[in-house]
Chains A and B, each alone.
Chain A
């Protein structure tokens, strides 16, 4: 049966992943409901089980088994810290460009190559480019990255970006 196959796939093949999803959902449920009595725990566990079952259709096709390493988590935290710094700087530079009376822009498109394999790191990296100084990811296709920059300086800042090295480290530490 279809349901049977789903249960087998989710819970037997990927126990750590299922537990991770269930814990995250449980934490959210308890925080949002704001009460910690046993009725909430029981109904929460019931609902988390159902949700985790249906989650399998989204995650298990390509990713497979969930793995977790402290090294990777530390790198990701570092990445997020530097990313928030960059977002802060980006806003001030855009505000400066917009509010200065001469508007010092020289916009344009730039094609770059980059080398990230996994979907998750690609999405994270493209979104970081969109949120940081004066650049937007227009398209990414294979190992080609199309970036629109507000000035030439900003657009070329994407190349040899230090966040790219951290992202590369994250991906390589996952492969081990």
Chain B
């Protein structure tokens, strides 16, 4: 078996792993914002790795260029759609999950950011 095909198989299964993680996160996490964390990130990585794996085994420059374009468009569109869904949920007043924090650090001075940063509950 060629090294190229082994690499392609590794990339394909890695992408599959990240897509599965996205779906598991969609089921397990508590509210819409956290679910979008899992979906928006793992989908980018998963589909990117799957397309890269396909680039390695597909013949012809035309197909390779089309697949690389798909990666670029995924990278451009995915965060925009995540942001849009989150903003819509926020504007409609979808409640956050329990015991989540809301902090306004807008008027903070530059000095006291050290003690705020490590307060992970």
Q: In the complex, how many residue pairs between chain A and chain B have their CB atoms under 8 Å apart?
A: 134
- Cβ A130 vs Cβ B79 within 8 A: yes
Distance between A125 CB and nearest chain B CB, rounded to angstroms: 11
- Cβ B83 vs Cβ A91 within 8 A: no
Q: Which partner residue on chain B sits nearest A84 by CB separation?
A: B75
Distance between A89 CB and nearest chain B CB, rounded to angstroms: 10
| Cβ proximity bits B31-68 to A, threshold 8 Å, 1 near / 0 not | 10110111011101100000000000000111001100
Question: Which B residues lie at the A interface, using CB under 8 A?
Answer: 17-18, 21, 24-25, 28-31, 33-34, 36-38, 40-42, 44-45, 60-62, 65-66, 75-76, 78-80, 82-83, 86-87, 90, 96-97, 99-106, 113, 116-121
Q: Is A98 an interface residue (CB 8 A)?
A: yes
- Cβ B105 vs Cβ A110 within 8 A: yes
- Cβ B105 vs Cβ A91 within 8 A: no
- Cβ B24 vs Cβ A156 within 8 A: no
- Cβ B41 vs Cβ A107 within 8 A: no
For the complex of A and B, 6 pairs with smallest distance between CB atoms: A108-B101, A130-B79, A34-B62, A98-B25, A127-B79, A91-B45
Which bucket holds chain A's interface residue count? 35 or more
Q: Is A10 an interface residue (CB 8 A)?
A: no
Distance between A137 CB and nearest chain B CB, rounded to angstroms: 5
Give the most central of B24, B29, B38, B83: most A CB within 10 Å: B83
| Cross-chain contact of B66 among A32, A98, A99, A146 (Cβ < 8 A) | A32
| Cross-chain contact of A107 among B42, B66, B100, B113 (Cβ < 8 A) | B100
| Cross-chain contact of A106 among B75, B79, B105, B120 (Cβ < 8 A) | B120
Q: Which partner residue on chain A sits nearest B46 by CB separation?
A: A91
- Cβ A94 vs Cβ B36 within 8 A: no
| Cross-chain contact of B106 among A103, A112, A127 (Cβ < 8 A) | A112
| Cross-chain contact of B96 among A95, A107, A155 (Cβ < 8 A) | A107
Q: Which partner residue on chain B sits nearest A33 by CB separation?
A: B62
* CA distance in complex: A98, B18 (Å): 11
* CA distance in complex: A130, B37 (Å): 8
Distance between B119 CB and nearest chain A CB, rounded to angstroms: 6
- Cβ B87 vs Cβ A139 within 8 A: yes
What residues of chain A lie closer than 8 Å to B31, measured between beta carbons?
Answer: 107
| Cβ proximity bits A72-108 to B, threshold 8 Å, 1 near / 0 not | 0000000000000001101100110011000101111
